[in-house]
Amino acid sequence: MSLSEFWDFLVLGVVLGSLYAVIAIGYTLVYGVLQLLNFAHSEVFMFGGYGGLLALTALIPETTPSGTGSVVYVLIGMVAGAALGGAVAFGLERVAYRPLRRRGAPRLVFLITAIGASFFLYNLAGKLFGRNPLPMPTMYENKRVLSVFGAELTITQVLILVSAVVMMIGLDYVVNRTKMGSGIRAVAQDPDVASLMGVDIDKVVSRTFVLGGLLGGAAGFLFGTNSQVWYTMGFLPGITAFAAAVLGGIGNVRGAMLGGLLLGVVETMTVGLWGDDWRYVGAFVVLVLVLMVRPTGILGERLGRTA
């Protein structure tokens, strides 16, 4: 690998990793509060892609927008994706998980329910939207606009990177600096004590799901702008983002961000060194090696203690 190729793959890895980090936050938020592995989060991500696709298909004219029009359509697509992702996450919590929580169901039942909800949601999407990949409507001319150490980035890649960074900073602020974040951290640390102190557990859990769903839905839209939208599109990014959350220390928001970025870079570097067939091998080898040395992940602390 030449030096120019190194920078190309490194920058691509950071872009990809930022997307993984945003998805991973949804896993880690829910785990931090409920100790629940919400495997249906990959379908929240998928519905976010469809949310943006449907909104833009209804609004975008036949000619490619430019300038302010492109910015407006990108914002519309992202808001639509985030809104549908948040709505699906809210529905999941109310329909699938809350009844189990109130009945004091064992964690294995939550896990089985999460897997069942995932199957239901992606088959529902296949039934509603068809099983063929659908291209995202053209919002702008995707030309190269930025060069970093010789690695050239397109508008879509810059959009993904900037949006992901803004969302991660915003989420970090919400969790650490707001009343809502205090409630989330209190429930994550000790739900019984939080309840005695007047924290509404149901409300906090519901808001946590919606927060993760908003980010996951927006990430689904961003992913769709770089490729296409289809009913199983959440599977591989979801698995990788879950691995990123575990790598960083599941339950730790900043750990999820770090794990996502690290896995994204390792994935693209693996492609650069050994080809696309090894894309996911390098990332998961790193995951296993890190967990062998540090089983709780790189940062390794729960949401309630560090956020």
Residue 173 is part of which domain span?
3-293
Residue with tokens 């149901």: 202
* Long-range Cβ contact pairs of 287-296 (< 8 A, separation 24 or more): 287/243, 287/246, 287/247, 287/263, 290/247, 291/246, 291/247, 296/249
In a domain? residue 300:
no
Which of 25-29, 50-54, 101-105, 106-110: highest mean pLDDT?
50-54
Q: How many domains does the chain have?
A: 1
Q: Which amino acid is at 197?
A: M
How does pLDDT run across 137-156, given as a tens digit for each residue? 888 888 888 888 888 899 99
Name which of 31-35, 78-82, 133-137 the model is least confident about: 31-35
20 neighbors 240 (Cβ within 8 angstroms): yes
In a domain? residue 233:
yes
In a domain? residue 93:
yes
In a domain? residue 252:
yes
Q: Hey, how many other C-beta atoms are within 10 angstroms of the C-beta on 23?
A: 31
First to last CA, the chain: 38
Question: Which residues make Cβ contacts (< 8 Å) with residue 85, sequence separation at least 6?
Answer: 44, 45, 47, 48, 51, 213, 214, 215, 216, 217, 218, 220
In a domain? residue 261:
yes
223 neighbors 44 (Cβ within 8 angstroms): no
Counting DSSP H helices and E strands in the chain, the numbers are 12, 4
In a domain? residue 299:
no
In a domain? residue 39:
yes
Q: What is the pTM of this model?
A: 0.90
CATH number at residue 21: 1.10.3470
In a domain? residue 301:
no
Which pairing describes strands 228-229 and 134-135: parallel, antiparallel, or unpaired?
antiparallel
268 neighbors 9 (Cβ within 8 angstroms): yes
Rounded Cα distance between 142 and 130, Å, is: 27
pLDDT > 70: percent of the chain:
98
How does pLDDT run across 163-208, given as a tens digit for each residue? 999 998 998 899 888 988 888 888 888 888 888 888 888 999 999 9
- pLDDT of 216 over the 50 cut: yes
pLDDT of residue 305: 47
Rounded Cα distance between 62 and 59, Å, is: 10
Q: Could you tell me the pLDDT band of residue 307, with boundaries at 50, 70 and 90?
A: very low
pLDDT of residue 76: 95
Give me the chain's average pLDDT, please: 88
Rounded Cα distance between 73 and 112, Å, is: 39
263 neighbors 283 (Cβ within 8 angstroms): yes
269 neighbors 283 (Cβ within 8 angstroms): no
**DSSP conformation letters of 133-187:** -EEPPP-S---EEEEETTEEEEHHHHHHHHHHHHHHHHHHHHHHHSHHHHHHHHH
Question: Which residues make Cβ contacts (< 8 Å) with residue 167, sequence separation at least 6?
Answer: 22, 215, 218
How does pLDDT run across 3-61, given as a tens digit for each residue? 888 889 999 999 999 999 999 988 888 888 878 888 899 999 999 999 999 999 998 87
Q: Could you tell me the pLDDT band of residue 62, with boundaries at 50, 70 and 90?
A: confident
Rounded Cα distance between 214 and 166, Å, is: 13
